[in-house]
Amino acid sequence: MAEIISLAERLAAKSRRTAPSERSVVVVQSVRVREGNSLARLLATLSGGALVTTPSKETSDCSSCSVRQAIEDRLLPMAQSSPLESAIWLVTPIDADPWAIVDAFGADQPLHQAGFRIRSFVSAIGTDKLLLDWVSTRRIGLDRQVPLVEAIADQIDFSDALVLSGTEHEKHASAEFLRSLNTRAEILERSDITSEWARQLISREFSAERTANGAVWRLGLQFSKHAQPGQVFRRNRPFHPERFYQLVRRWPEELLRSEGTAWIASETDVAFTITQAGPRLFDCSGDGYWLATLPADELRQAREDHPEAFEHWNPETGDRMTELAFAWDSHVSRRMRSEAFFRELDRCLLSDFEMHLDWSRFRDPFREEREKEWERSEKRRTRKPHFKSLHSVGHHTGEPTNGNTQEKDL
């Protein structure tokens, strides 16, 4: 018995010696590289640790390199280095998907096994250009596929802290704007940063679920009890494609963000995902089929495996429904503005008479735009490439974007 206990103690001691020491990683995001580097350098100076930058996919030599690969290439060699840095201030480019960053540190990934743990997401916000970027049509990333405003919106959603720089007037206006989008994040000025605050970033316990639900305006999509007046539009009747398209073209300027699922009559089996950020970005794209289209045996299995997906099941329409969440500008009366807007959305739904018509015969401008975009994409694919010519098909509008329009410091 003593020999067994002794063996167990030796194995436990060996395990303690070989287990990797945890290294806290704080992700620093910024639209402009120099702002992110400057903030990370300040935080590293105040609390210690190493500043690490990852390349943008735009400047990477390998077009297929993933965010995960870029981070692993930077951090894994540090796991063998000595002395051990207890904190890593990881500066990521604006074209890096925050969810891809989180996945790179998953429990089954090499970074996690090497002891690296995400603690916080912090964003450096240059308020001099924030509102201009929000209404910009510029695209970033490899082949310019990602609208800049979409990347900014994801960055704001994922932030535990938003650090502002700029004039007093710019910071005040931006703070109100940012608070409308993320009520969870701490908003502070660069001059407010202390060594104690920087150390708190390192010691926090990161939760991907808490981060994803940080935008309170979006919570109503998952939990009905969290929905507030003017935040969630939920209906069990499809949109007429042409009327809904016309409303999309005059989406209210006071709407900062929209997100959710739409049921469009002309393609009744397809669940469409709606994403809107700012006045320039609106995407309506197919995201698979409704559960109601499954065969009976598969539907029974889905109900057993995912009962939460049947929370709003309707005996006649199944899970087909429109469910959209909205974030309104804090300077407008959300209740009054949303009531008028919801009436407009209701007018886009099929009437009782239209419910009995052949929905496939409705004109569908959304489908027409997708077909035109596909044709343009095919033409570019067959066109002989020109040296140093970089063009992309607009992800949402189908307009070509020249790769040379990117700002120098982005």
CA 22 to chain centroid, in Å, comes to 27
Owner of token pair 């329409």:
317
Select from 149, 180, 214 the last residue of a domain.
Answer: 214
Select from 214, 238, 260 the last residue of a domain.
Answer: 214
Q: Is the pLDDT of residue 47 over 70?
A: yes
* More confident site: 209 or 292: 292
How many domains does the chain divide into? 2
**CA–CA–CA angle 81, 84, 89 (5° rounding):** 100
Q: Is residue 382 part of a domain?
A: no
Which stretch of DSSP H or E encloses residue 392? strand 391-393
Q: Is the pLDDT of residue 388 over 80?
A: no
In this structure, are 259 and 339 located in the same domain? yes
Q: Is residue 278 part of a domain?
A: yes
The domain of 290 spans 218-363
Q: Is residue 3 part of a domain?
A: no
Cβ–Cβ under 8 Å, residues 274 and 221? no
Amino acid at 375: E
In this structure, are 193 and 223 located in the same domain? no
In this structure, are 166 and 283 located in the same domain? no
Q: Is the pLDDT of residue 64 over 80?
A: no
What per-residue confidence (pLDDT) applies to 327?
84
What are the contacts of 305-310 at 24+ separation with CB within 8 A?
Answer: none
Band (135; pLDDT cuts 50, 70, 90): confident
Joined together, the tokens standing for residue 85 give 């840095």
**DSSP string covering 107-176:** TTSHHHHTTEEEEEEEEEEETTTHHHHHT---EESGGG-EEHHHHHHHHHHH-SEEEEES-HHHHHHHHH
In this structure, are 210 and 239 located in the same domain? no
Task: Specify the 3-state DSSP secondary structure of 17.
Answer: helix
Q: Is residue 369 part of a domain?
A: no
What per-residue confidence (pLDDT) applies to 231?
79
Q: Strands of 87-92's sheet, edge to edge?
A: 50-53, 87-92, 23-30, 116-126, 161-165, 186-189
CA distance 338 to 274: 17
Residue pLDDT, tens place only, 337-384: 788 899 999 999 999 999 999 999 999 999 998 888 888 777 766 654
Mean pLDDT of all residues in the chain?
80
CA distance 380 to 311: 44
* More confident site: 334 or 54: 54
Residue pLDDT, tens place only, 233-270: 999 999 999 999 999 998 888 888 888 999 999 999 99
| Phi, psi values for residue 322, rounded to 5° | -110, 130
In this structure, are 61 and 173 located in the same domain? yes
Q: Is residue 326 part of a domain?
A: yes
Percentage of the chain exceeding pLDDT 70? 76
Average pLDDT, integer, range 44-48? 90
Q: Which residues pair with 276 in a beta bridge?
A: 258, 282
Amino acid at 25: V
Residue pLDDT, tens place only, 266-300: 999 999 999 898 888 888 988 899 999 999 999 99
Between strands 87-92 and 50-53, the pairing is: parallel
Select from 185, 214, 243 the last residue of a domain.
Answer: 214
Residue pLDDT, tens place only, 191-200: 999 999 999 9
* Residue count of the chain: 410
